[in-house]
């Protein structure tokens, strides 16, 4: 379908679905984006004439390859891996790698697509990409993970580079995996450069990178509250997940005077009405990062808490909800339950955690709703700062990086206000704001390049 004749989101989507069959996550991410951007494009003929939306929803390229490795029983194993290089109009490709059994091309395309606009919002020169594998790191030994990472990098290294494409972590890819990947990259290339971010502090990593996604999410939440003359202080917060994003979102919420009531993993959630304080967060950090255990151990250790097997935390009444686990973890019904229980703000730490029905419910209710592109951009923003430090061959202090992170989140918030509200008095639609602001910069670059 020609975008020239495109009358509506549905017209545009029917073409996209036809071109990308069997990719529901990708369809969902594009639809959410198109609902904001198609009306904007229809008002700006220069974008329409250049077929910008059609071009933007087509990745620059996708590299697919087999990763063969040997397990601890000397059996040969094979997984599939991808790197989706979505768009490098405004900078070298940038985005994480995800290792999880549910990784498919559709998941990585949705992530790479969203990454393009998230990275644009940060104001840093970063294009959008995402990669990963259906490898399951759960239950694997360190040596197995190392052999897998080394085998993956043996292929991936030829497609990436500090000025080409800079991968980082995501679900299932943390400090351990980045270290193995970077060690192998350096060995193959015989060059010490910042081609990966999220590196250890001893070898070019940045202070605050580990904390950045969670901290940034809370900074953004505080920016939204401040905009309406309120604060997160004294509010109750429901968080899902117990990985990197969730842990540091909890830590910063507590630091700013909020009370965190829940955390979760794929086995269920814990509810602690006394609040998950700094000491309890330290326990979760050790449980998840060092011992790689399950969240029910929290309720065994802290008697104030209850464990709810196989459930998600959205039935617990809270002022602020921060989904920090994975995509589609808040259904339409769960969004309505949160609203019925009086939620004032929803701030997305995970990528696309809310189903489209839930997105519509939050926007319609007029609460403070920050979509992932804006709210979780702090992680990749500090990755961008890690690239800067690597290029300068310098490392900045914790205070300096944290201050820059706060400023970047504040500027993203300001862009959302500019593009997400027509009148000063109007409630800000952060979904429209983030989508349109992210779109404009990438679109301007693509227009300037002509037919590429
Ligand atoms: N995986 C993170 C994200 O979704 C961070 C990517 C990066 O640091 O490059 O934004």
Asked if 326 contacts 240 with a C-beta cutoff of 8 angstroms, the reply is no
* Per-residue pLDDT, 324: 98
Name the domain boundary from 370, 393, 417. 370
Domain presence at residue 85: yes
Name the domain boundary from 332, 352, 370. 370
Asked if 91 contacts 125 with a C-beta cutoff of 8 angstroms, the reply is yes
Asked if 256 contacts 345 with a C-beta cutoff of 8 angstroms, the reply is no
Strand partners, 370: 347
Name which residue sits closest to atom 9 of ligand 1, judged by CA: 95
Q: Ligand 1, residues 97, 130, 169: which to mutate, most atoms within 8 A of Cβ? A: 169
Binding pocket residue ranges, ligand 1, CB within 6 Å: 94-96, 168, 170, 197, 351, 379-380, 383
Q: Could you give the CA distance from residue 60 to residue 359 in angstroms, rounded to a whole number? A: 28
The fraction of the chain above a pLDDT of 70, given in percent, is 98
* Per-residue pLDDT, 3: 45
Closest ligand 1 atom, residue 167 Cα = 9
Domain presence at residue 441: yes
* Per-residue pLDDT, 7: 64
Which residue do the tokens 């063969």 mark?
Answer: 68
Q: Which domain holds residue 165?
A: 61-191
Strand partners, 166: 94
Q: How far is the CA of 168 from the centre of ligand 1 (A)?
A: 6
330 DSSP 8-state letter: B
Q: How confident is the model at residue 5 (pLDDT cuts 50, 70, 90)?
A: very low
Domain presence at residue 183: yes
| Pairing mode of beta strands 259-265, 268-271 | antiparallel
| Pairing mode of beta strands 61-70, 76-87 | antiparallel
pLDDT value at 336 more than 90: yes
Asked if 428 contacts 437 with a C-beta cutoff of 8 angstroms, the reply is no
Residues 345 and 232 in one domain: yes
* Per-residue pLDDT, 2: 43
Count how many domains the chain has: 3
SS3 for 390?
Answer: helix
Q: Which of 10-14, 205-209, 423-427, 439-443 has the lowest mean pLDDT?
A: 423-427
The chain-wide mean pLDDT, for the chain, equals 97
Domain presence at residue 196: no
Asked if 251 contacts 226 with a C-beta cutoff of 8 angstroms, the reply is no
Q: How far is the CA of 299 from the centre of ligand 1 (A)?
A: 31
pLDDT value at 6 more than 60: no
Closest ligand 1 atom, residue 377 Cα = 10
CA 119 centroid distance within chain: 10
Residues 251 and 150 in one domain: no
Residues 36 and 11 in one domain: yes
Q: How confident is the model at residue 227 (pLDDT cuts 50, 70, 90)?
A: very high
Q: Could you give the CA distance from residue 376 to residue 383 in angstroms, rounded to a whole number? A: 12
Residues 30 and 170 in one domain: no
* Per-residue pLDDT, 33: 98
**Given 94, 118, 130, 199, the catalytic residue:** 130
Q: What's the Rg (C-alpha) of the chain? A: 21
Average pLDDT score over residue span 384-393: 98
157's CB contacts (< 8 A; 6+ apart) are: 184, 185, 188, 189
Per-residue burial over 389-400, b = 16 or more CB atoms within 10 Å of its CB, e = otherwise: bbeeeeebeeee
Q: Which helix (H) or strand (E) holds 142?
A: helix 142-156
Strand partners, 161: 165
Per-residue burial over 228-247, b = 16 or more CB atoms within 10 Å of its CB, e = otherwise: eebebeebbbbbbbbbbbbb
Question: What's the pLDDT tens digit per position in 21-48?
Answer: 999 999 999 999 999 999 999 999 999 9
Asked if 86 contacts 127 with a C-beta cutoff of 8 angstroms, the reply is yes
Residues 104 and 159 in one domain: yes
Closest ligand 1 atom, residue 126 Cα = 9
* Per-residue pLDDT, 216: 98
Asked if 243 contacts 210 with a C-beta cutoff of 8 angstroms, the reply is no
* Per-residue pLDDT, 426: 79
Cα torsion 226, 230, 236, 237 to 10°: value is -20
Asked if 384 contacts 357 with a C-beta cutoff of 8 angstroms, the reply is no
pLDDT value at 262 more than 90: yes
Cα torsion 294, 337, 343, 347 to 10°: value is 50
Residues 271 and 327 in one domain: yes
Q: Ligand 1, residues 124, 241, 371, 380: which to mutate, most atoms within 8 A of Cβ? A: 380
Question: What's the pLDDT tens digit per position in 88-111?
Answer: 999 999 999 999 999 999 999 999
Which residue do the tokens 């193959």 mark?
Answer: 188
Q: Could you give the CA distance from residue 400 to residue 402 in angstroms, rounded to a whole number? A: 6
Alpha-carbon distances, residue 185 vs 166, 196, 299, 403, 420 (angstroms): 12, 9, 41, 31, 42
Q: Could you give the CA distance from residue 214 to residue 299 in angstroms, rounded to a whole number? A: 23
Q: How far is the CA of 77 from the centre of ligand 1 (A)?
A: 28
Residues 175 and 272 in one domain: no
Q: Could you give the CA distance from residue 38 to residue 207 in angstroms, rounded to a whole number? A: 39
Asked if 224 contacts 218 with a C-beta cutoff of 8 angstroms, the reply is no
Domain presence at residue 136: yes
Residues 362 and 447 in one domain: no
| Pairing mode of beta strands 268-271, 306-309 | antiparallel
Question: What's the CATH code of the domain at 98?
Answer: 3.40.50.10860
Residues 233 and 177 in one domain: no
Q: How far is the CA of 348 from the centre of ligand 1 (A)?
A: 14
Q: How confident is the model at residue 422 (pLDDT cuts 50, 70, 90)?
A: confident
Q: How far is the CA of 169 from the centre of ligand 1 (A)?
A: 6
130 in active site:
yes
Question: What's the CATH code of the domain at 226?
Answer: 3.40.50.720
Name which residue sits closest to atom 5 of ligand 1, judged by CA: 380
pLDDT value at 4 more than 60: no
Q: How far is the CA of 14 from the centre of ligand 1 (A)?
A: 30
DSSP letters spanning 210-277 = HHHHHHHHHHHHHHHHHHTT--STT-EEEEE--SHHHHHHHHHHHHTT-EEEEEEETTEEEE-TT---
Question: What's the pLDDT tens digit per position in 344-372?
Answer: 999 999 999 999 999 999 999 999 999 99
Domain presence at residue 390: no
Closest ligand 1 atom, residue 380 Cα = 8
């Amino acid at each position: 379908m020609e975008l020239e004749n495109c009358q509506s989101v549905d017209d545009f989507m029917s073409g996209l679905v036809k071109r990308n069959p069997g990719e529901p996550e990708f369809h969902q991410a594009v639809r959410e984006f198109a609902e904001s951007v198609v009306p904007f494009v229809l008002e700006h003929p220069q974008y329409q004439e250049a077929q910008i939306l059609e071009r933007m929803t087509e990745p620059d390229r996708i590299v697919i390859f087999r990763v063969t490795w040997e397990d601890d029983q000397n059996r040969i194993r094979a997984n599939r891996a991808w790197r989706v290089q979505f768009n490098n109009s405004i900078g070298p490709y940038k985005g994480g790698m995800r290792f999880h059994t549910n990784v498919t091309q559709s998941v990585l395309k949705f992530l790479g697509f969203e990454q393009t606009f998230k990275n644009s919002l940060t104001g840093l020169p970063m294009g959008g990409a995402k990669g990963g594998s259906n490898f399951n790191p759960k239950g694997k030994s360190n040596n197995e993970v190392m052999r897998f990472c080394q085998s993956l990098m043996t292929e991936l290294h030829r497609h990436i580079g500090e000025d080409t494409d800079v991968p980082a972590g995501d679900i299932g890819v943390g400090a351990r995996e980045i270290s193995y990947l970077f060690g192998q990259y350096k060995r193959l290339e015989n060059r010490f450069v910042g081609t990966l971010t999220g590196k250890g502090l001893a070898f070019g990593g940045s202070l605050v990178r580990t904390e950045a996604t969670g901290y940034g999410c809370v900074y953004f939440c505080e920016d939204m509250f401040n905009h309406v003359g309120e604060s997160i202080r004294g509010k109750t917060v429901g968080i899902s997940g117990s990985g990197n994003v969730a842990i540091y979102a909890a830590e910063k919420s507590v630091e700013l005077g909020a009370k965190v009531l829940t955390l979760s993993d794929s086995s269920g959630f814990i509810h602690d009405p006394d609040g998950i304080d700094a000491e309890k967060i330290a326990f979760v950090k050790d449980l998840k990062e060092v011992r790689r255990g399950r969240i029910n151990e929290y309720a065994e250790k802290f008697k104030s808490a209850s464990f709810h097997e196989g459930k998600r935390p959205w039935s617990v009444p809270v002022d602020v909800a921060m989904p920090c686990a994975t995509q589609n973890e808040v259904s339409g019904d769960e969004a309505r339950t949160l609203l019925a229980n009086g939620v004032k703000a929803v701030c997305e730490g995970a990528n696309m955690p809310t189903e489209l029905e839930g997105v519509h419910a939050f926007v319609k209710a007029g609460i403070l709703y920050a979509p992932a592109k804006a709210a979780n951009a702090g992680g990749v923003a500090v990755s961008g700062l890690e690239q800067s430090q690597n290029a300068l061959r310098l490392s900045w202090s914790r205070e300096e990086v944290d201050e820059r992170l706060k400023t970047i989140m504040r500027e993203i918030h300001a862009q959302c206000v500019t593009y997400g509200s027509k009148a000063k008095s109007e409630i800000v639609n952060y979904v429209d704001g983030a989508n349109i602001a992210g779109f404009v910069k990438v679109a301007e670059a693509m227009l300037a390049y002509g037919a590429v």
